A and B are shown apart, each in its own frame.
Chain A
Amino acid sequence: MAQITYLHDDGSRRSVSVPVGANVMRTAIENDIDGIIAECGGAAACATCHVYVEPAFARRFPLPTEIEDEMLESTASERRPESRLSCQLNMPAGLDELIVRIPPEQLP
């Protein structure tokens, strides 16, 4: 099992144990973690599951597809180099820990 830690704007954090392949958005939803909305259900169609992934972890994931990259242009909180849509992130084998920061806003 690996661990995903979600950091909130107010400094609070939640860690969840997950198997390899776990989706970072679904894990947040299934564990009732605030701040991940995922209105479209994981299709990269709404940009409401935006997270910041620390660069040390970011390179363990495939680069954003063109669709995700374009949707990231319209996030409610600012886009940064470490911005991703969490619905597009599945825990890769060999990664024991992932830390993502949840942005202050998901809705425009």
Chain B
Amino acid sequence: MTLDAESCVVIVGAGQAGFQTAASLREQGYAGRVVLIGDEASLPYQRPPLSKAHLKLDAEDAQLHFRPDAFFAEKRIELRAPDKVTAIDRAAQRVELASGEGVHYDHLVLATGSRPRRPDWPGIDLRGVQLLRTVEDARQIRALLQTAKKVVIVGAGFIGLEVAATAGAAGLPVTVIEFAERPLKRALSAQMATHLLQAHQSRGVEFLLRTSVAALEGRDGHVSGVTTTDGRHLDADLVLVGIGVQPNTELAQAAGLAVDDGIVVDAHLLTSDPAISAIGDCARYPSAHHPGAVRLESVQNSVDHARSVAARLAGKPAPYDKLPWFWSDQGDLRVQMCGLSQESDDVVFRGDPQSGKFSVLRYCGDRLTAVETVNHPAEHMTMRKILTLGGTLTRAQAADPAFKLASALPVATPAPKVAPPPIADPSKDG
């Protein structure tokens, strides 16, 4: 379906996926109306730094916007923020906004994202108990870190470990409570997770595994401690809860679209209604890199979904087939992943974990499915190419540090595009 200049694309959600859809529509030459609806007051902004550099005590109130105000006017992107879509009328192809406005759409893009799971533990509403999703959440956590004496983090996922590293580096005692027997159980191999666990422990972070929170205690309305389900008590004046997210699917569900832990879409990211796409954290899609459908929460997923939908709406449809990749900064650990593995996939080490710089390759039979890397971005980037281009890398080659990974690429990779000559004399230029 190609949309003409009289048409209107409405995008619900102004996070990474929603913003990118609007920007990519214009890059692709779409000339119709673009209406971008976000429920936060600020201009659309980047979330990854919120759990990383943005939490450091000496961090300035960093600028996180994707683009300045002027960009939206120049690109004719009608930003409605803060506002909220309250209902989708699929028959009339119209969304209703909390502000009272109704907007007709020729195509609707649901980029509603996800929200942190909020457990119903006693004491969850105490001051000093934080979830982390928005820039305002991050600001509050940074303020609490200035005066905190003891930090408890519930959930050893990426958010939890990133914040643990930052709080630990600031000299605060940190305890991480994790329900599973190891960190990052859903995301990484046991071997890589164990390496990260030991790295955090060696930097002084304490871990309580196979336990959860029974209750949060408070004093004068502020959290003062945590009782675990196995009966331990921990003092705490800052508790970060990072136990995963849930996709924002309520709007889609109310509109009668198929939902199954995410809005169900096809290989073109279309929902069960051909006038509605769903992308980013909230979309469950059939992956070209994994059996069955997946729902991913990452910058790559949001950005590539957005570009795919924008290209389709501009008349260049193609099934979505991008390779998932992800990164996490945990203090001095740069963790990178590409591809998608299943828990049962085998593990092959490349490099020596003792060196602090190595990769874990996941294999399903003879097929390389995913690669997890620590502090070795060049290897991560080469593995991305191998997985994207469908190169062959045997287990023996993978485990051999002398084997040149570039020779596993299926064909000679095209030479990088040649840039213009270096600047001869900048003082005379122009």
Interface residues of A (CB under 8 A from B): 5, 7, 9, 13, 26, 29-32, 39-45, 47, 52, 54, 56-57, 66-67, 70-71, 73-80, 82, 99, 101, 103-105
B381 proximal to A (CB < 8 A) = yes
Which 10 pairs from chain A and chain B are nearest by CB? A41-B46, A74-B381, A70-B378, A70-B377, A78-B416, A99-B426, A45-B327, A54-B423, A73-B378, A77-B419
How many chain B residues touch A (CB < 8 A): the figure is: 40
Can you list 16 pairs linking A and B with CB atoms under 8 Å apart? A9-B420, A13-B430, A26-B62, A29-B65, A32-B67, A40-B327, A41-B47, A45-B377, A70-B378, A71-B381, A73-B381, A80-B422, A101-B420, A101-B422, A103-B419, A104-B417
With contacts A40-B48, A54-B423 taken as known, whether A75 is within 8 angstroms of B377 at the C-beta atoms is: no
**Nearest Cβ distance between residue B26 and chain A, in whole angstroms?**
12
**Nearest Cβ distance between residue B44 and chain A, in whole angstroms?**
12
Say whether A41 contacts B64, CB under 8 Å: yes
Q: Which residue of A lies closest to B45 (CB)?
A: A41
B5 proximal to A (CB < 8 A) = no
**Nearest Cβ distance between residue A67 and chain B, in whole angstroms?**
6
In B99-155, the 8 Å CB interface with A consists of none
Say whether B417 contacts A30, CB under 8 Å: no
Say whether A43 contacts B48, CB under 8 Å: yes
In B22-77, the 8 Å CB interface with A consists of 46-49, 52-53, 62-68, 70-71, 74
**Nearest Cβ distance between residue A3 and chain B, in whole angstroms?**
12
- Tell me the number of A-to-B contacts counted with CB atoms below 8 Å: 103
**Nearest Cβ distance between residue B144 and chain A, in whole angstroms?**
23
Mask, B4-18, CB within 8 Å of A = 1, is 000000000000000
**Nearest Cβ distance between residue A94 and chain B, in whole angstroms?**
17
State which of B65, B329, B381, B422 has its C-beta within 8 Å of the C-beta of A43: B329
Tell me, in angstroms, the Cα distance from A57 to B67 when the chains sit together: 27
With contacts A75-B416, A104-B417 taken as known, whether A41 is within 8 angstroms of B49 at the C-beta atoms is: yes
Mask, B291-335, CB within 8 Å of A = 1, is 000000001100100000000000000000000000101000010
Tell me, in angstroms, the Cα distance from A57 to B381 when the chains sit together: 28
Contacts A79-B416, A80-B419 aside, 9 further interface pairs with beta carbons under 8 A come to: A26-B63, A47-B381, A54-B423, A66-B375, A67-B375, A70-B378, A73-B381, A76-B416, A82-B422
**Nearest Cβ distance between residue B136 and chain A, in whole angstroms?**
17
B175 proximal to A (CB < 8 A) = no
Say whether A7 contacts B417, CB under 8 Å: no
State which of B63, B375, B419 has its C-beta within 8 Å of the C-beta of A78: B419
B248 proximal to A (CB < 8 A) = no
